[in-house]
Structure 1
C-alpha cells in the first residue's frame, strides 16, 4: 500500500538543498519519518538559550522569523519561508539555540530527526560538505543596535575583522551551468535538471544564453497543466536573461536580483547576453547570513499586510544604512540598495491603498518618484516628492477619473507619511490636484514650462525632470518623456535658461578659499551642503544629458558616466564630478546619521581640519563644470 503522505513530502523535499542531492532511497527514508507540525501565528518553535530539540525543521508553508534577543530587544535576523531549513546548527554543535524561532504567520513545518540525517551524512559526502559549508559559518545580523554589520560567533563574541567584507567581494558562481538548446522539449529539459539535480537550466545558442527555466517555471506552468511538457523550452523560458560580468560583487548581484525580481543571474565574458556564457549565480549561492544585505527586508515587505509593518521595515532600513556607512561600503552600492528598498516600500504602500479602494483603477496610471528618490539618491529619510499620471479619458469621464486617483493618491501619501517620509512642504505630491492629472495635461504642463521658462517654471523642471517610474504603466511614462524631448528640441533656448539656473549657486569657496556659509536665518554661519555642493553637480548632470538627448538616465552618477562616453575630451572632468559627488553624498549621509537630521547643513566648527580639506577638494570640479556650462551655453554672451 502506497504511503501517499510520504510521497508528497518526498516531492517537496527533493526541490531543496541538501535533500536535492540525496539518493532517492535516502530521501524517501527521511520522508517516511517526517513529523508534520502546525504552528499558529506568533507561537514559538523554540526560544533563545533553550536546549536543542532532537529534530530540525524545514518550512512547508508560511513563514518563521528568527529573532535574537539583545538588551531586551528582539532583533529579526532572518525570515525562513518555503524550503528554508532552520534549527540544525545547535544540534550539530550540541549548543543551545542562539535565536528564537517564531511563526510570523500560520505555518506548517516538516520536522526531521537529526539522528536520521547523521546516518545519511556518514554515507553521503556531498551532504556532509553542504552541512559543513552551511552551518560552520557564523551568523550575522545587520540590524543589531550596537553591533551593526558584525558577526555573532558561537560564544556570542563579535568578530570585527569580517564585517562588511562580503559585499565587495567577487561573488562565487557555478562555472559549470547546465544548459540545453532551444530544440529541447520541456520534458527533455526537466529530465536533464532531474538527472543533474539542479533547480535551473539555461537555454543557449552558440554558447550565448537566450533563456532560463527554473523549478518555479515547471511548477507554475507545467505541473498546473497550463502548458504541455511536449512543447519546446522556448514556450516557458524567461527571456531575455539578466547577465552580469564574471567579476560581479555580492552587493551588485543582490541589487540585480532585487531590481529584476529574479533568483538567477547569468555570468558572461563581458557581462552582456552577446558574449560567451561563463556560469550562473543563484540566490542560494549568496550566503545570506554571511553579509550585510537587504534580503530579509524584501522578504518582510512581500508579506507586509499593513502600514505599521512598512514603517518598521523602513526603520530597520535606516539601521542597515548606518551599518553600511560604518563599514565604508562604496556609496554607489549603498545608494542602490537603499533606493531599491525605498521603492519596494512605496510599491507595497500603493498596493495596500488600491486594496482599500472600493473598485479597481478605472484606467491605467503611473506613480512617479521625483527629486532625490527619482534620481535614486535618497539615502536619508527626507520629504516625499511624487506625482500621478493617468490615462487620457473622455471629457465626460474626467472628473470621476481624477477624483478616483486623488482619493488613491491621498491614501498613498498618508501611508508614506506614517512610514516616515514627511509630506513635502511645497505639496509636490500626487495627492495635490495639480500633480494628479492626465497624460495630455502633463504634456501640456511640461511644454508650458519649457516654452515659457519663468523662474518658477525652471524650478519645477529641476524637480519634475528627475522622475522615475515606481508603479504602473510604463507606456505612459515613455510617451511623456518623448513629449518633453520634443518640446526641448522645438525650443532649444530653454536649455540656456536651465543653464543659468545651474549656475545660481557659485562655487562653494570664496576668494580667500573660505567656505561660503549662510549669512542669516536658522542656519546662520552653517554650510549648506545640498545647495552649495550637491545641487550644482546634480543640476549640471541633468542639463548636460538633456542637451545631448540622453533618455532614461536620472541618476547623477549615471548621467556623468554617459557624458564621459559621449565626450571623451571631457572625460576627466566628468569623472572628477562623479568622485566629488560620491564623497559629498557620503559626507551628507554621515552627517545626517550623526545628527539625526537631513545632513544638509554643516556646522564647520565641528569638522576636523582633514574633513574640511576633503570637502574643499570636492569643490574644484564644481567650479570647472560650471565654467564648461557657461561657455557651452554662451551664458555670458546672452546676458544670462
Structure 2
C-alpha cells in the first residue's frame, strides 16, 4: 500500500489532462511539490482582482464554482470544476490578476500545482500547452480574453474555421523509406516504385537524414539527361533537409513548408538533423488533416451531388467531434458546429432529391427538422425526425400537391438513411402523410394538440414543438410559430399536461443514492442517460420557453440561458441546468463514440468513481427544476 503523499497525488493526476501527457518521471517531480488544500462549502480560493498565485489548481474531490462578478455585484457562473478539472490558469498563461472568483460549492479538496516546477518539465510539451490554452480560453470572461477565445473557438464559422488547426498535432508517415549515401539513384527509384511513395530519405550510418529525393527531382534531373540513372543519390538529393519534432502542429508544418518552398518535412527524435529519423510529414498529410476541418467539411457538403459524398462528409464530422472532445473544446461550440453540419447535410439532401423530381415544387414549402436536430443539439447519428409544411392551395389541388411532397420526402428520407440517420421507428418522418401538411393543416394540428391535450398529444409535443427550418421558405414556419403562441394564450391546461410529462422521470438516483437502472429487456441493469437525465431537462426547458412566449431559441442550454436573463431570481438554477445539460450531453457523446452507438445506455459499473461523481452532481439541478415546475404549474395534485 502506498503511503507517500506524492505517490497518491501522482496516482490521481496521471489520469487527467494535461498530466496524462507528461512522462512518469516528470510527473513525479510535479507530484512531490503539490500542496493539498481543504475547503469548506463557501470558502474562496481566490477572488476577482486578487494578485495571481504561484500555483494553478486541480479539483481532487468536491466542486469549485468559478464566478464572474459584475460591477453591480451580480454573479454569473462561468464553470464548475469537478474532480480532475484544472482551473485558476491565469497566472500560468497570462500573469495577470484573477478575473474570476473560485468558491467551493461543497466540501472540497484541491491540489495546488506549483507553476515554476510544472513549467520546468512541460515547456517543450506541445500537447500540454495545447490543452492549457484551451482550458484557459474555456473559463475566460473579460473582453480581452473573450477576444482571444474567439480566435481559438471560431471554428464553427465557415470563414475562420481553420484557426482550430493550430491546436492539432500533425499526423505524419511513420517508418519512412530510406536509402544510404552510397545508393544509386536507380536503386532509390526502384524502392520508391515498390513502396508507391513520392520521396525517399537519404540517411547516414546513424540513420540521421542528410538529403531527400522526390519524384520531381527524378523528372527534372534524370529524365532531362542531366544525370545518368546510375548516378549516386548524393548527386541529385536536396540537402540539407528541413526537420521538426514529432509533436509539430499542422499549422506549424504548413508554415515550414511555405517558408522553405518544400513539400516534405523530416521528423526526427529531437527535431534536428543530428538525431534519428522517425517519420516524414508531407504536404498531402497536411491537406488530409485540413480535410477534417469544419469549413472544408461544409464546403464538401454544399458541393455534394450524391448521397455517398454526403455520407463521407458527415462521417468526417464524427471524427471531428471526437477530436474536439479530446481537446476539451467547450461543448457549446461543438453543438453549434454540428448543428451547422447536420442542417447543411439535410439541406443538401433535399436539394439533391429535388433534382430527381419530375418537376419543380408546385408551391412554396419548408423541410422541418424536429426533435434533437430541431433543437440544434444533435451530435451523433440518431434516427430521423422531420416534417414538411407547404403553402395553402385550393381544395381541388390539395391531394396532388401533397402527393408531390410525399414523393419528395421519400427520396430525402431514403437519402438521410443512407447517410447514417436511421429511419424513425414511430415513422415520425416527412414521408408519413400525417407529417406532410399545408400551413393551415399544421395550424389546425397544433391547435388540436394544445386545446385538447391527451397522452398522445403530449407525446408528440415533445418532438413537434421543437422544430426548425433547414430548407425552403422560413416564413411558413414563422407563421406556424405565431399561430402556436396565439393558441397557447387561450389555455393553461396544456402547460399542466406538459408539466406532468416533464415530471414522469423523477430523480435518476434511488433512495440509497444508487443509479436507477432498467429493470428488464435488452437494456436490463443499464442506466438510460437520455430518458432519466437529459429528457427531464429538455422537457422542462421546452415548457418554460413556451410559457414565457420565447421564440427563436431552440437549444436546451440556450433556453436556460435565456430564462436566466428573464428571471433573475432563478438565474442560479437556470445556469445550473444549462451546465448540467451540457455536461450530460458531453458524457453521452463520449460514451457513444467509445461504444459506437448513441451513448443512450450506460453500464454504470464501467465508470470510474470520478465519472459517477460528475454524473451525480448533474442530477441536483434536475430535482430542483422539477420542484420549480411542480410549484409554478400547480402539479402536485394534477393527475
TMscore range, shorter length: 0.5 to 0.7
> Which residue of 249, 253, 257 maps to 2:150?
249
Q: CA deviation at 1:167?
A: 7.2
Q: CA deviation at 1:358?
A: 1.3
Q: CA deviation at 1:315?
A: 1.1
Q: CA deviation at 1:486?
A: 1.0
Alignment check: 8 A CA contact 1:166 1:250 kept: no
Aligned to 1:96: none
Larger Rg, first or second structure (1 or 2):
2
2:127 aligned with 1:160 = yes
Alignment check: 8 A CA contact 1:417 1:423 kept: yes
2:500 aligned with 1:533 = no
Alignment of 1:36-185 (within 5 A): 160-161=127-128
Q: CA deviation at 1:160?
A: 3.4
Aligned to 1:80: none
SS of residue matched to 1:458: helix
Distance 2:496 2:476 in 1: 28
Alignment check: 8 A CA contact 1:375 1:466 kept: yes
Distance 2:622 2:369 in 1: 26
Q: CA deviation at 1:359?
A: 0.9
SS of residue matched to 1:598: coil
Q: CA deviation at 1:445?
A: 0.5
Aligned to 1:60: none
Distance 2:403 2:385 in 1: 20
Aligned to 2:314: 314
Distance 1:371 1:476, change over 3 A: same
Distance 1:485 1:541 in 2: 16
Distance 1:247 1:477 in 2: 37
Most deviating of 249-258 and 596-605: 249-258
Deviations 1:507-535 (A, max 9, x none): 11111111111111111111110000000
Aligned to 1:97: none
Q: CA deviation at 1:304?
A: 1.3
Aligned to 1:384: 384
Q: CA deviation at 1:162?
A: 6.0
Distance 1:440 1:480, change over 3 A: same
Alignment check: 8 A CA contact 2:134 2:328 kept: no
Deviations 1:455-498 (A, max 9, x none): 01001011001101111111101110011111111112210111
Distance 1:485 1:351, change over 3 A: same
Aligned to 1:337: 337
Alignment check: 8 A CA contact 1:164 1:324 kept: no
Aligned to 1:58: none
Distance 1:165 1:390 in 2: 50
Distance 1:632 1:448 in 2: 24
Alignment check: 8 A CA contact 1:251 1:293 kept: no
Aligned to 2:574: 574
Distance 1:167 1:362 in 2: 50
Alignment check: 8 A CA contact 1:343 1:470 kept: yes
Distance 1:613 1:440, change over 3 A: same
Alignment check: 8 A CA contact 1:251 1:333 kept: no
Distance 1:608 1:472, change over 3 A: same
Distance 1:255 1:566, change over 3 A: same
SS of residue matched to 1:469: strand
Q: CA deviation at 1:400?
A: 1.1
Measured on the aligned residues, the alpha-carbon RMSD in Å equals 2.7
Aligned to 2:66: none
Alignment check: 8 A CA contact 1:168 1:250 kept: no
Alignment check: 8 A CA contact 2:158 2:294 kept: no
Distance 1:620 1:416 in 2: 37
Aligned to 2:627: 627
Most deviating of 293-302 and 557-566: 293-302
Deviations 1:49-73 (A, max 9, x none): xxxxxxxxxxxxxxxxxxxxxxxxx
Deviations 1:63-100 (A, max 9, x none): xxxxxxxxxxxxxxxxxxxxxxxxxxxxxxxxxxxxxx
Aligned to 1:615: 615
Distance 1:327 1:451 in 2: 48
User: Where does the alignment leave 5 or more consecutive residues of structure 2 unmatched?
Assistant: 1-123, 139-144, 164-253, 256-285
Moved segments of 4+, more than 2 Å: 157-171, 244-248, 250-259, 286-293
Alignment check: 8 A CA contact 1:517 1:526 kept: yes
Q: CA deviation at 1:293?
A: 3.6
Distance 1:250 1:631, change over 3 A: same
Distance 1:588 1:409, change over 3 A: same
Q: CA deviation at 1:580?
A: 0.8
Distance 1:158 1:430, change over 3 A: farther
Deviations 1:90-125 (A, max 9, x none): xxxxxxxxxxxxxxxxxxxxxxxxxxxxxxxxxxxx
Distance 1:417 1:167 in 2: 36
Aligned to 1:411: 411
Alignment check: 8 A CA contact 1:170 1:248 kept: yes
Distance 2:318 2:507 in 1: 32
SS of residue matched to 1:249: helix
Aligned to 1:191: none
Alignment check: 8 A CA contact 1:367 1:388 kept: yes
Aligned to 1:270: none
Distance 1:611 1:431 in 2: 41
2:563 aligned with 1:563 = yes
Distance 1:525 1:170 in 2: 39
User: Where does the alignment leave 5 or more consecutive residues of structure 1 unmatched?
Assistant: 1-156, 172-243, 264-285
Alignment check: 8 A CA contact 1:391 1:439 kept: yes
Alignment check: 8 A CA contact 2:406 2:432 kept: yes
Distance 1:158 1:344, change over 3 A: farther
Alignment check: 8 A CA contact 2:156 2:294 kept: no
SS of residue matched to 2:484: helix
Q: CA deviation at 1:158?
A: 11
Q: CA deviation at 1:585?
A: 0.4
Q: CA deviation at 1:303?
A: 2.1
Distance 1:355 1:526 in 2: 45
Distance 1:167 1:446 in 2: 44
Q: CA deviation at 1:161?
A: 4.5
Alignment of 1:354-393 (within 5 A): 354-393=354-393
Alignment of 1:207-218 (within 5 A): none
Distance 2:134 2:476 in 1: 36
Deviations 1:272-305 (A, max 9, x none): xxxxxxxxxxxxxx99989874011112123211
Distance 1:295 1:161, change over 3 A: farther
Q: CA deviation at 1:250?
A: 3.4
Distance 1:512 1:416, change over 3 A: same
SS of residue matched to 2:489: helix
Q: How many residues align?
A: 387
Distance 1:421 1:401 in 2: 27
Alignment check: 8 A CA contact 1:527 1:601 kept: yes
